[in-house]
Amino acid sequence: MSAGGILSIAEVNALPLEQFDWLFGNVVEHCPEAARAVVSKRPFVNKEALKKSFDDYLENLDDTGKESVLLKHPDLAGKLAEVGKLTQESSNEQKSAGLDALTKEEKQTLNNYNYLYKEKFQFPFVICARRNKVATIFEGIENRLKNSRTEELNTGINEVKKICRIRIDDLVWSNA
């Protein structure tokens, strides 16, 4: 999909429920329930209103719900990437950050960071890979390991919002 999207907001508003669910069911990774909650907010006046509906859904989850959303995300350059089991969106995002071209040492370092992060917070490290490269991802995980669990729950959800917004951009034309 191009950065320009494939549908207008009018077309999004006219989609049958099943098609909306199918198209938007993974804008929040493995979370079709987000699409099911957001579809009831139609009609959207523009793409920003659609994005805000997903933001609101994520923001209004309780801590258990937020943790559930984060748990659905794969480890960066982890086992799922190694065996080709990432969603197409995650695969493209990790490639755009250069995570598919890590050296053996970088891969081991990232695996170590992923392990430490999951041990401390009990959910995977989530960062908007399309807005980062390998060096900033390493820096981000190292810095975020210093956070409290509550801070990381909120930071992780904010990263999910960024990912979601970019995925919506891939699906919906700009408002211009």
DSSP for 52-64, written as a single string = HHHHHHHHTS-HH
Is residue 175 predicted with pLDDT exceeding 80?
no
Helix (H), strand (E) at residue 158? helix 149-171
Alpha-carbon distance values, 34 to 26, 41, 67, 92 (Å): 9, 12, 14, 21
Is residue 119 predicted with pLDDT exceeding 90?
yes
Question: What CATH number belongs to 1-176?
Answer: 1.10.3330.10
pLDDT tens-digit map of 32-87: 999 999 999 999 999 999 999 999 999 999 999 999 999 999 999 998 888 888 89
Is residue 103 predicted with pLDDT exceeding 90?
yes
Which residues are identified as catalytic? 73
Q: For the residues 6-28, what does the mean pLDDT come to?
A: 97
| Whole-number pLDDT of residue 26 | 97
pLDDT tier at 176, thresholds 50, 70, 90 = very low
Share of the chain above pLDDT 90, in %: 90
pLDDT tier at 1, thresholds 50, 70, 90 = very low
- A 10 A CB-CB count for 135 gives 11
Is residue 124 predicted with pLDDT exceeding 80?
yes
User: What SS3 state is found at 7?
Assistant: strand
- A 10 A CB-CB count for 104 gives 7
Contact 81, 110 (CB under 8 A): no
Give the global pTM. Answer: 0.95
